[in-house]
């Protein structure tokens, strides 16, 4: 409860944002110092699975519109190659060398309900920072950072409202028997965790998100939408499937894991397009309520696309990772470089592109600056605000380097310095060799030039040792002292 004591002084004042910023008596927001923020994150969506990043098969007009009417960033890195640690980095502003959660880590309680390693109560999240400013806060989708009632419960991490899958394993089916709403279980009639059902979870998230926006149209809100699409299983309503069925060629495959879909390629594409339509509904509501000019909307993905033919997915067919090497679970570019588009009418110039190198640890300081609460940022975060880049200003502070570690999938480390990228793979086999790539010349990471540049390798080796603090919960014995 220690962190809540830091906020109570502000919250107990009972000052609404409307009284501070002059919201009109009607149902519209005027220009305010604390804009609404909608942060949408897909699950396992590849860099190249959006039209605005080069996808030629899957249709994503709403997300493409965000890019067209806003900014598209080309060198954004997720927090991790997999779900839970990437979410932790996003919400707390610390990279995986310092973050509280550094890998997917499933735990079970005496009640038999599962969940992931919970965030500690002492951890400050972006939701808590915005809540201290008077924001209404909500999350709909996949949490993965602590089950209901734990310290990591989203209601104890700054969110007034949570609706979705508390546990990542539960989220492996889009027609679940139930979802969690705050402390309650919401049973979904007509669903039985089969290939189809009566209530599609993605549609329920959109419905709840629209309701939240309407309920808070005259006050600032932070809406965090960590959607599950296109994470497997491949499941989608029939009307969306029809857009691709018979158009995208299918072929036989050996099914592994999850539910088997009769039209896996069409189903996968339809899932993404279906999600895109829901995002379009959100954008339409912002326009209807006349609050779109005071709303920053961001779309990204938590990591790279999943492995070929797991559960019917086909990242090779869709060229999901584009020109990049690797997929989910890898610190090569394909596993961690993610799409990132943002729109804020009147603030972000339409049709802009930026090659700023940034990562999920930068989200907390960026959103806190947007909300005017950066003075309350924790002093030990690793992130740097990139508001200057979003708004097209000249002076943007940049990272000296980016660091990431992943004590799984063989054990991996990554450091990026300018165009240089160092990678360690198979560390669990006591392989501490550093591969070196020049991304300006070799974006596909095909040519290891470590032997030609020993001084760069040594610089990266030093960072790999000094940029991190060992974690008792997530030990990495190959590099821990």
pLDDT (tens digit, 9 = 90+) per residue, 232-275? Answer: 999 999 999 999 999 999 999 888 899 999 999 999 999 999 99
- Provide CATH code, domain 403-466: 3.30.1120.10
Mapped onto helix, strand or coil, the DSSP state of residue 186 is strand
Q: Where are the domains of the chain?
A: 32-399, 403-466
Of the chain, the percentage scoring pLDDT greater than 70 comes to 92
Task: Note the pLDDT of residue 383.
Answer: 98
pLDDT at residue 476 greater than cutoff 80: yes
Residue 113 pLDDT > 70, yes or no? no
Beta bridge partners of 299: 40, 341
Q: How confident is the model at residue 309 (pLDDT cuts 50, 70, 90)?
A: confident
Q: Residue for token digits 């669990």?
A: 428
Can you give the pLDDT at residue 9? 36
Percent of the chain at pLDDT > 90 equals: 88
Mean pLDDT of 162-173: 96
Distances (CA, A) of 253 to 116, 173, 245, 321: 32, 21, 17, 20
**What pLDDT score was predicted for residue 33?**
60
Q: What is the mean pLDDT of the chain?
A: 93
Which H/E stretch holds residue 382?
none
Helix (H) or strand (E) holding 37: strand 36-42
Question: Can you tell me the mean pLDDT for 331-352?
Answer: 98
Contact assessment for residue 62 and residue 280, using Cβ atoms and an 8 Å cutoff: yes
Nearest to 70 by CA among 349, 479, 452: 349
Q: What is the pLDDT of residues 374-384, one digit of tens each?
A: 999 999 999 99
358 pLDDT higher than 50: yes
pLDDT band at 339 (very low <50, low <70, confident <90, very high): very high
116-126 average pLDDT score = 96
Question: Is there a shared CATH topology between the 32-399 domain and the 403-466 domain?
Answer: no
pLDDT for res 418: 98
User: For the purposes of burial, counting CB atoms within 10 Å of the CB of 432, is it exposed (0-12), middle (13-18) or buried (19 or more)?
Assistant: middle
Backbone angles phi, psi at 276, to 5 degrees: -60, -40
Pick the CATH number of 32-399 from 3.40.50.300, 3.40.720.10, 3.40.50.150, 3.90.870.40: 3.40.720.10
């Amino acid at each position: 409860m220690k962190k809540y004591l830091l906020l109570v002084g502000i919250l107990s004042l009972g000052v609404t944002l409307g009284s501070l910023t002059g919201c009109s008596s009607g149902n519209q927001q005027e220009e305010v110092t604390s804009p609404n923020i909608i942060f949408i994150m897909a699950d396992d969506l590849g860099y190249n699975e959006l039209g605005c990043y080069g996808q030629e098969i899957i249709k994503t007009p709403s997300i493409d519109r965000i890019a067209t009417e806003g900014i598209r960033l080309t060198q954004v890195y997720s927090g991790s190659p997999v779900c839970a640690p990437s979410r932790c980095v996003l919400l707390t502003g610390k990279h995986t060398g310092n973050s509280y959660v550094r890998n997917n880590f499933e735990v079970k309680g005496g009640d038999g309900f599962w969940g992931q390693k919970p965030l500690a109560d002492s951890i400050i999240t972006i939701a808590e920072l915005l809540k201290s400013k008077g924001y209404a806060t909500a999350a709909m989708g996949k949490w993965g950072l602590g089950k209901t009632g734990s310290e990591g419960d989203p209601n104890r991490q700054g969110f007034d409202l949570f609706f979705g899958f508390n546990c990542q394993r539960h989220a492996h089916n889009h027609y679940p028997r139930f979802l969690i709403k705050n402390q309650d279980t919401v049973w979904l009639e007509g669903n039985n965790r089969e290939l189809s059902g009566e209530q599609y979870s993605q549609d329920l998230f959109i419905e709840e998100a629209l309701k939240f926006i309407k309920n808070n149209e005259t006050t600032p809100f932070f809406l965090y939408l960590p959607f599950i699409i296109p994470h497997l299983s491949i499941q989608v309503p029939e009307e969306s499937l029809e857009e691709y069925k018979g158009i995208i060629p299918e072929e036989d495959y050996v099914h592994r894991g999850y539910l088997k879909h009769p039209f896996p390629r069409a189903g996968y594409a339809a899932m993404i397009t279906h999600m895109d339509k829901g995002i379009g509904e959100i954008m339409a509501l912002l326009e209807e309520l006349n609050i779109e000019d005071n709303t920053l909307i961001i779309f990204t993905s938590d990591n790279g696309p999943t492995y070929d033919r797991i559960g019917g997915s086909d990242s090779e067919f869709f060229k999901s990772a584009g020109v990049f090497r690797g997929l989910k679970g890898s610190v090569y570019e394909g596993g961690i470089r993610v799409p990132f588009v943002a729109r804020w009418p009147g603030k972000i110039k339409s049709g802009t592109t930026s090659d700023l190198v940034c990562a999920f640890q930068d989200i907390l300081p960026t959103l806190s600056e947007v909300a005017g609460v950066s003075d309350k940022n924790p002093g030990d975060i690793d992130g740097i605000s990139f508001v200057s880049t979003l708004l097209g200003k000249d002076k943007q502070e940049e990272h000296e380097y980016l660091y990431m570690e992943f004590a799984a999938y063989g054990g991996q480390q990554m450091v990026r310095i300018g165009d240089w990228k160092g990678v360690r793979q198979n560390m669990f086999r006591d392989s501490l060799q550093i591969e070196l790539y020049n991304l300006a010349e070799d974006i596909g990471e095909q040519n290891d030039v470590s032997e030609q540049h020993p001084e760069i390798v040594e610089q990266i080796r030093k960072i790999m040792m000094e940029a991190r603090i060992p974690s008792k919960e997530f030990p990495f014995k190959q590099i821990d002292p």
